[in-house]
Structure 1
Amino acid sequence: MSDKKIKNIFVNGPIAPEFIAKSISNHSSKTGIGGHSIFMGQVRKDEIDGKTVSAIDYTAFEELALDKMQDIREAIFNKYPLSCMHVHHSLGTIYAGEICLFVFTSSKHRKPAIDACDEIVERIKSALPIWGKEIFADDTHRWKENQ
C-alpha cells in the first residue's frame, strides 16, 4: 500500500443534497475533465413480509473498511485514467428517501468515469465490512443483505 493518508469515507447521518451539489460544483474549474459519473444510493421504503422499511441503521468495522477502501482506491486509480474519485458512506440511521452512499468519479472522457464508478460501487458492496439493519415502521428490525 502507498504512503498516502487513508481517506475517511464515513459520514454520520445521511449525505445531504447540498453536500452533493457542492461536490459537483467544485469540479467546474477543472477544465481537463470531460466526464463525470455519479452513483447515489438511497434508502428504499421497501415492503418485506408485509412490513415497511422506514430506515436503515448502518454500522461498520471502520478501521478495516478504510484500509480495504484504500486498496480499492489504489486499484481503481491504477486501472482507470481518473482525475478524481470521491466516496462517502453513511453511518447511523438513514431514513427512507435519504442518501446513504455517494460515489463520484471524473476523467478526461466519460467511459472511464462510468466504468470506474460502477466497479467502485460493486466492490464497496462486496468487500467492505459495512452492515445495515433494516428498521421497519413497527420498530422491528432485521439485518439487510447486500444486493
Structure 2
Amino acid sequence: METTKPKKTTFINGAIPSEFIGNSIAKHQSKTTIGAHNIFLGQVRADEMDGKKVVAIDYSAYEEMAEQSFYDIREAAFAKYDLTCMHIYHSLGLVKAGEICLFVFVSSPRRKVVFEALEFLVEEIKAKAPVFGKEIFEDETYTWKKNT
C-alpha cells in the first residue's frame, strides 16, 4: 500500500519570522522516534549589482504550479530518504535584505539522512519550483507596504 503525505501550503506572505521557525522545531519534540533534524534557511543578501545595492526581493510565483512542484519534490524526497517529517516554506511578496525567504526542515531517526535529504531538497527547489524574485535596489522608488 502506497502512502503519500497530504499536500501542504508552502507559501508565507513576506519574510518567514524566526518565531515561526522556532515554533516549528519545538512542535517536533513530542515525536520521540526522531533522532535528527536539519534546517536550511535562505536569507536575502544585500548584493551589489551594477553598482547598486539590493535592499529587498519581491517574490512571485505561479502558485498552483509551484505548490504542485513542491509536492512532487516532497514525494521524491520521502521516496528516496527515510524521513519522519519534512516542511518547506517559501516567501511571497516583499522580503528585505537580512530576512528569511526559504525555510526547509527535515527530520529522521538518523543524522546522515537529514544531511543528504536537505541538500537534495534545496537543490530540487532551486531547479524546479516556479518561484521568481525581482531585486529591489536602494535607488528605486518602492512603496514599502506591510505584508499581512
TM-score, scaled to structure 1: 0.91
Over residues 19-52 of structure 1, what are the superposed CA-to-partner deviations in whole Å (9 max), with x where a residue is unaligned? Answer: 0000111111111111111000000111111100
Q: What is the rounded CA distance, in whole Å, between the counterparts of 1:5 and 1:116 in structure 2?
A: 19
Q: What is the rounded CA distance, in whole Å, between the counterparts of 1:140 and 1:72 in structure 2?
A: 37
Q: What is the rounded CA distance, in whole Å, between the counterparts of 1:70 and 1:29 in structure 2?
A: 25
Q: Which residue of 1 aligns with 2:39?
A: 38
**Aligned AA for 2:79?**
N
Q: Which residue of 1 aligns with 2:97?
A: 96
Q: Which residue of 2 aligns with 1:49?
A: 50
Secondary structure of 1:105's partner?
A: strand
Over residues 94-131 of structure 1, what are the superposed CA-to-partner deviations in whole Å (9 max), with x where a residue is unaligned? Answer: 00010000000000011111111111111111001100
Q: Offset of 1:7 from its aligned partner?
A: 1.2
Cα gap change, 1:5 to 1:24, in 2 (>3 Å): closer
Cα gap change, 1:118 to 1:134, in 2 (>3 Å): same
Q: What is the rounded CA distance, in whole Å, between the counterparts of 2:103 and 2:95 in structure 1?
A: 13
Runs of 4+ in 1 over 3 A off after TM superposition: 2-5
Equivalent residues of 2:15, 2:95 under 8 A apart:
yes
Secondary structure of 2:23's partner?
A: helix
Q: Offset of 1:3 from its aligned partner?
A: 7.0
Gaps of 5+ in 2: 143-148
Aligned residues: 140
Q: What is the rounded CA distance, in whole Å, between the counterparts of 1:37 and 1:3 in structure 2?
A: 22
**Aligned AA for 1:118?**
E
Gaps of 5+ in 1: 142-147
Q: Offset of 1:6 from its aligned partner?
A: 2.0
Over residues 71-104 of structure 1, what are the superposed CA-to-partner deviations in whole Å (9 max), with x where a residue is unaligned? Answer: 1111100100000001000000000010000000
Secondary structure of 2:30's partner?
A: coil
Aligned CA-pair RMSD = 1.5
